[in-house]
A and B are shown apart, each in its own frame.
Chain A
Amino acid sequence: MDEVNTPALETGGLQKSFGALTVANAIDFRLERGARHALIGPNGAGKTTFVELVTGALRPNAGQIRLDGADVTQLAQAARVKRGLVRTFQITALFRRLSILENVTLAICERQGIAGDLVRPAGHHRAAVEEAHALLQRLGLEEEALRPVNMLAYGRQRLVEIAIALALSPKVLLLDEPAAGVPSGESGRIIEVIERLPQNIAVLIIEHDMDLVFRVAQRITVLVQGSVLVEGLPEEIARDPEVRRVYLGERAPA
């Protein structure tokens, strides 16, 4: 198979129902390498469910998920993470009583495979801590390195979410509403960080904030009630009458 054309992430016929309620309806999806792709849709469209299915937190009723060409449908979530499929959570899921340095170091230790070490003190693995610290610096969080997460402003917490995701050296990064609930003063930092993400990571952003979407995304998929409505370039989506009717209203984006 042609290496260059293999998508970073692909789903085929992804299906999930809870009884009579279908939350994912035969979703076919492609995320190209190095892509900046956005998934939008009205509330309840099933966007977060899609992320849960792709990452392995939920088992689909049918369909396949391929990561870099390899079938991962039967793999557990942790195994997919090891292969580079990383997500952030819409509602911040951090270790609240631990410091942010600790939060990120935990992720790095997992990635480096030293987290199973029962014998040597955590402090001995200095390289991991240093890497965590450097990552915090890149995101402008090093001042608060030793503060517990629950004492940080919400916008900073969202940044920590992204820090943890980056600590795992992702190949595919799923950002679930990274700017959700963040006051507009702090969201600028988050958008900056997203824009500066390395080019070799394929990024899928789920967002409601259309400014962010149109600033960052090269392709957009619109999900409505568990089915893909339409997919294409941002200009096409903005002009599409169906999308406008369902989601954007009659206004054109800024």
Chain B
Amino acid sequence: MATEGLVRTGLRAGNGAIDAFARRHRFHPLEALPWAAAIAAFALFPSYLPLCSQVLATILFALSADLVLGYAGIVTLGHAAFFGTGAYIAGILAANGWGEPLTGLLAGALAAGLVGFLSGLVVLRTTGLTLLMQTLVVATLLHEAANKASSITGGDDGLQGMEVWPIFGWFRFDLFGRTAYFYCLAVLFLCWLMARQIVHSPFGRSLTGIRENVRRMHAIGAPVARRRLVIYTISAVLAGISGALIAQTTQFASLSFLSLERSGTVLIMLIIGGVGRLYGAFIGVPLYMIAQDRFSEIDPVYWYFWIGLLMVVVVVFARGGVLGLFERFWRWTR
């Protein structure tokens, strides 16, 4: 390398750039916003808590999809496979005598992670359409399996008779959904911290590299396949947790948890918020779910039409979703 002196003077001048670069992971005050909003929602909408809990759990689902889609660039139509696995495992445990929520959650997470790891080994060898196909096939396989094993899973009718015990033996799941809400909020918070940590780590940065230019990543010696498998498995674990949350808080699980529609919907929610920006899930999910809640009272068929139209519009005009629009606006006003 160049002489030490030269390096040191250079460092002083470039310190600004290096500092800016090194500080990217620090917490920004705006990041407290979603959590403040969540607490506010508890106070402001006490009669909508069950819906809000579902929103929180679905945010986690969308967040897990963002890791795989937005950061690693893996387009999947079968993410519901992990969601459904987590839901069913936690649900089956609760329906068969073991209703302890935290261990049920853990079991769902591990099961989903296993499915993610095994399917990832197979699926991630391919790219493009074949990859898309494989993810869809995995989810459909699990859907069929759950359908056939109806003695355990309840088949078409769904899994019923779940009994979830109080958290830590103390906090019972009440009818108003208060416990459920804080349960979901706490789990989401912890998982979000984890996801955030990963995104800002060297591993997470290398994922961005994989998404931007795979050829280049190979050419700098990155073990691309291994990295993709790791993030795919982590994402599966998070998706499984979100599924288990839904199952435990609604005391229900059904085949639709494993459906193409569920996988497609999470993509839509993410796109609306903005992919690859960590917070897209926080914006897209509430928007979608609240809108759907309103619309389905009016006419469920029209819902499909408007959502379809929205997707087309977003793709053609606003590819970065809501966050992307913010970014554009921000740059434009500078």
Contacts and interface: CB of A to CB of B under 8 A. Distances in A.
B222 A78 contact: yes
Contacts of A109: 202, 205-206
A164 B216 CA distance: 10
Interface stretch (B7-15, B34-42, B134-142): B7-15
Contacts of B172: none
A214 interface: no
A81 B219 contact: yes
A72 to B, nearest CB: 13
Interface residues of A, number: 50
Contact of B213 (A96, A110, A116, A118): A96
Nearest to B223: A78
A110 B221 contact: yes
A125 B26 CA distance: 14
Given A95-B208, A95-B209, A130 B18 contact: yes
Contacts of A93: 213, 215-216, 219
B202 A134 contact: no
B218 A78 contact: yes
Interface residues of B, number: 40
A98 B212 contact: yes
A124 B224 CA distance: 23
Given A111-B221, A126-B18, A130-B11, A97 B215 contact: no
A171 to B, nearest CB: 13
Contacts of A102: 21, 205
A57 interface: yes
A194 to B, nearest CB: 17
Contacts of B316: none
Contacts of B230: 118
A19 interface: no
Interface in B191-213: 197-198, 200-206, 208-209, 212-213
A55 B219 CA distance: 8
B30 interface: no
7 contacts: A102-B205, A116-B203, A118-B203, A129-B21, A134-B2, A146-B17, A168-B221
B14 A87 contact: no
B7 A115 contact: no
A123 interface: yes
A82 interface: yes
B1 interface: yes
A62 interface: no
A123 B204 CA distance: 12
A108 B24 CA distance: 18
Contacts of A55: 219
Contacts of A138: 2
Contacts of B215: 57, 89, 93
A101 B205 contact: no
B20 interface: yes
A133 B201 CA distance: 19
Tell which of B202, B216, B230 has the most Cβ of chain A within 10 Å: B202
A74 to B, nearest CB: 16
A231 interface: no
A88 B22 CA distance: 27
B21 A146 contact: yes
Given A97-B212, A101-B21, A126-B22, A106 B221 contact: no
A225 interface: no
Contacts of A117: 201-203
B220 A137 contact: no
B28 interface: no
Contacts of A87: 219
A186 interface: no
A119 interface: yes
Contacts of A78: 218, 221-224
Contacts of A70: none
A77 B222 CA distance: 9
